[in-house]
Amino acid sequence: MVSLTRRSVLRGSVGLAAAGALALPHVANAAATTVETWWNQGYLPEEDVSFRALVADYQKASGDKIDYSLIPNAPLRQKEISAIQSGGVPDVMEVADIRFTPLNAWGDHLIDLDDIIEPGKSSYSPTALSCCHHYNNTTKKRAFYMAPMKLGSWPFHFWRSLVEKAGYKIDDIPDTWDAFLDFFIPVQDKLREQGMRNVYAYGYQLAGNGGDPIVTFNQFMIAYGGNDFITADGKLHTDDPKVRDAAVKGLVKLTTPYKEGYVPPGVVSWNDADDNNAFHSKLMVMDFDGSISTELALYNNKEEYDQTVTHGLPLGSDGEKVPAQVVGFGPTIPKGAKNIAAAKEFIKYMLEPKVLNEYLKGGLGRFAIPMPEMAKSDPFWLKEDPHRTVHTEQTLFGPTLPIYEAYNPAIAEVDAEHVFSVAEFDVLKNGMAPEAAIDKAFKRPDEIFTKYPITQA
């Protein structure tokens, strides 16, 4: 690991130095201000190294001081909420969870970043921009409240070794949604026959906590044609029969394997980390999880890493590619920050294509860069590593839609209640019929959305 780190650091700092030199003209020559920054501690150590290099370069170039803290995800989430609540906000906060920006933009707790993003708008992918374009209920219009630095989507991950052990070949895997999923059932059967007592086909996240179960359900719903669940204007369409139908199908597809024993029974109490652990210990063959974190955790172990396969979303039943949900992460500037101008300069720097590229590459490309041109021109993204290629393609070049939170923050509140996990529970444990479960689940969004009227598209 050390050697890889060094290499990536070397690469990162050289790149950043170069980028920094290029960026110099853009950096305002203000008096040295200290910008207090809260940043998400990386999943991989390399991400932190990369960030530190970025900061060092910026400090040299601009003369400002960045007083940063690298905080793990869960406490960052808690601190950000406490900070907004109590007023003790830093200058720059990196978003820790997908609900943060839409809800706080709605409540007018964030500074809008239009002046930073508008100039370079064309270099971003449209979905990336949607991810940051939130509705502010006080100003009654949408604006950019987060700088899109990291983009991620949800591919499938599975073990080549297990598939092959079951006697199948990767190339045999079908390309349409249902067939793709069903493929793994006989894989489990075969593996069980061979004596692997504890192996399951899928590791669907059905628990009532964390963010993954929500995305999982939404993706299944989208796959069956329910992408209009919420439209870009922020309106909810639970009354659309197509949406309802898709939701029911998705619910069935998720719960039936569980009932039939193809999903580990413990999934209903998993948190966001448990599925990764389970995947690593080969408890299941296939997992559906965001970005390529699952594989990158095995980066040290080259053999294992190569045995994992990242697979994009298969085609829908209509033969068209299923739109992938995309999430964006990046920094925000909360209201009440003391050094807004300096903070904006810092963010502008970070959004420089070269700087951003180096930063993300230093982090092993766990997140995709939101700039399609950059991704195409740098072989790192689409040529060097199969996992990364699939993920980048899915995030930038396939049909995508932002996670629903971008359209209307109301869904964030709905998600906090895990209405669809409850529906899954109802079907699995309480024996409810899927249609009834969906109807029950749809009631809550109906109620909650009335609290969030969006008057402008």
Partner 1 sequence: MIGEPVFGVIADPSLATILDEKDDDREGRDAVARPLAQRADQDHRREISTRDRFNSVGPKRAATDAIGNRNLCLGEEIDGRNCRSGDDQPLVLKIPDLHVAKPIAGAGNHIRGEREQKPLSDFSGPLFNGLGEPGTLLKFDPQALQQHNRRRKFDNAVCAKRNQGKVARENAGADGYRGLDGHPCGRESFQPEGVANETNSCSIGIKGHHQLLGSGWPVVKESGDQPESVPESQGDEKPGMSSTPQLLAVETPVSFKGRGDRTGTANLRGADLRWAIAFVLPYAAVFFVFVVYPFGYALWTASKPSLYADLIADRLYLPALLNTLLFVGLGVNVKMFLALLLSGFFMRRRWWIKVLLSIFIVPWVIAAAQACVSFHWMLQQEGLVDGILSTLFGIDGPIWFNDRWLGIGWNIIAYIWKWMPFWTVIFLAARMRIPREIYDAAEVDGATGIRHFIHVTFPLLANLYLLCTLLSTLWTVGDFTTVYLVSGGGPAGATNVLATLGFHYAFDESKPALGVAAAMSSLPGLIPIAIVLMRRVQTSEAHL
Partner 2 sequence: MALGAVILIWSLAPIYNMFLIALDPEEGEIEFDGNLWPPEPSLEGFRAVVMQQARYLENFWQQFGNSLFIGLMTMALTVLIGSMASFAVSRMRLTKGSLLTNTALLTYAIPASFLIVPYFRIMHSYGLSDNLWAVIAAQVTFATPFAILILQLYASLIPFELDDSARVDGASAAQVYLRIYLPLMTPALAVVAVYALMLAWNDYLYPAVLLAVRNMTVAVTQGQLFSDTDAAWNAMMAAAIIYVLPPIALLVALRRYVVASLTMTGAEA
Any contact of residue 232 with partner 2 (CB under 8 A)?
no
CB contact at 8 A, 310 and 156: yes
CB of 343 to partner 1, least distance (A): 22
Determine the longest span between alpha carbons in the chain, in angstroms: 70
| Spatial separation of the C-alpha atoms in residues 182 and 286, rounded to whole Å | 11
Closer by beta carbon to partner 1, 121 or else 443: 443
Any contact of residue 194 with partner 1 (CB under 8 A)?
no
Residue 146: name its binding partner from partner 2, partner 1, none (Cβ under 5 to 8 Å by kind).
none
CB of 444 to partner 1, least distance (A): 9
Give 372's contacts (C-beta < 8 A, 6+ positions apart).
125, 396, 397
Any contact of residue 266 with partner 1 (CB under 8 A)?
yes
Give 444's contacts (C-beta < 8 A, 6+ positions apart).
414, 417, 419
Any contact of residue 417 with partner 1 (CB under 8 A)?
yes
Task: Out of 3, 31, 86, 379, name the contact with partner 2 by CB under 8 A.
Answer: 86
Between the two ends of the chain, the Cα-to-Cα distance in Å is 49
Any contact of residue 186 with partner 2 (CB under 8 A)?
no
- Give the interface segment with partner 2, choosing from 52-60, 269-277, 434-442, 446-454 (CB under 8 A): 269-277
Torsion sign (Cα): 413, 316, 133, 84: positive
CB of 248 to partner 2, least distance (A): 31
Any contact of residue 265 with partner 1 (CB under 8 A)?
yes
Any contact of residue 198 with partner 1 (CB under 8 A)?
yes
Q: 171: which 2 tokens?
A: 């190339």
Task: Out of 29, 34, 78, 138, name the contact with partner 2 by CB under 8 A.
Answer: 78
CB of 359 to partner 1, least distance (A): 28
Residue 167: name its binding partner from partner 2, partner 1, none (Cβ under 5 to 8 Å by kind).
none
Give 216's contacts (C-beta < 8 A, 6+ positions apart).
154, 204, 205, 206, 254, 288
Q: 177: which 2 tokens?
A: 């949604």
Residue with tokens 């209640």: 417
Element (H, E) at 143: strand 141-144
Any contact of residue 271 with partner 2 (CB under 8 A)?
yes
| Spatial separation of the C-alpha atoms in residues 17 and 13, rounded to whole Å | 6
Our measurement of the distance from residue 99's CA atom to the centroid of its chain's CA atoms, rounded to an integer in Å, reads 12
CB of 71 to partner 1, least distance (A): 14
Closer by beta carbon to partner 2, 272 or else 306: 272
Any contact of residue 70 with partner 2 (CB under 8 A)?
yes
User: Where do contacts with partner 1 occur on this chain (CB under 8 A)?
Assistant: 77-78, 81-82, 85, 99-100, 103-104, 198, 207-209, 264-266, 268-269, 271, 412-413, 416-418, 421-422, 425
